[in-house]
Homo-oligomer: A and B are copies of this chain.
C-alpha cells in the first residue's frame, strides 16, 4: 500500500523540476506519464502552481481521456498527450513547455539545425518544425490535432531517434522512454536551441555537423554499440 502513489509523486516532482530548472514560467508547461499495464495516463492539472501541487492533484485518465482518479481538471493539452501515448508504444513520458530558446525557434518557424556533437549526442539530426494547424483543425479539436500532426510527421520513422518536435508559433513537445528521460531531453533541447541560436549569431552561414560525426556521437550513446557511461554490456 505504501508505494501506491509513487507514480503521482514522481510526476509532481518532475513538474516542479520544470519550474526550478527554468524551463517553465508561471504554469506554462505540463508533464505526463503512463502506466501501460493498467491503461492509465497521469497528467498535471490545468493552471495549478507547481509549488502548491500535491500528488493527489494529479489527474488520471484512461486512454480515451476519461478521468478515473482526481477531482481537478486536467491540463488542456491532455488530448495531445493521449494521441502520442497511443501511437508511440515505446514512450513512457511526455513534457510540454514554452522553454525560452526552443520556443523562439518555434516562433521564428525554423527547425533547430544539428550544428554540433552536443545535439547529436541526444537527437539524430535537426529538431523538426511542424507547421501550424489550419483554422479548421484549431476550431475543431486543437489539442488532439496537435498530437495527430506529430504522429503524422513520424510516419514510418522511429520517434526515439529525435524525441522532440517544435510546433510552429508555440513551443516544443518532448518525450522519452521514461518520464525522467523526457525531462532530460527537454533540458537538453533547450540548451541545444540556445547553442544553435548563438552559433547562427557568430556565423549566419554556419554549416551542419558532418553526417559521420552525427552518427558517431548518437551511436556512441545509444543503441547496441554504445560505449558511453557505465552500462557497456553490449558488444564492446
Contacts and interface: CB of A to CB of B under 8 A. Distances in A.
A101 interface: yes
Contact of A116 (B106, B117, B194, B232): B106
The complex is assembled from copies of this chain, and their number is: 4
Contacts of A106: 116
Given A210-B132, A213-B138, A117 B26 contact: no
A100 B227 contact: no
A48 interface: yes
A199 interface: yes
Contacts of A227: 76
Given A25-B191, A169-B115, A198 B100 contact: yes
Interface residues of A, number: 62
A109 interface: yes
A201 interface: yes
A228 interface: yes
B142 A118 contact: no
A28 B197 contact: no
Q: Which of A105, A107, A207 has the most CB of B within 10 A?
A: A107
A196 B169 CA distance: 11
A16 interface: no
Contacts of A72: 230
Given A103-B195, A106-B116, A107-B209, 9 more contacts: A28-B118, A47-B230, A101-B198, A104-B202, A108-B199, A117-B171, A135-B210, A138-B216, A197-B201
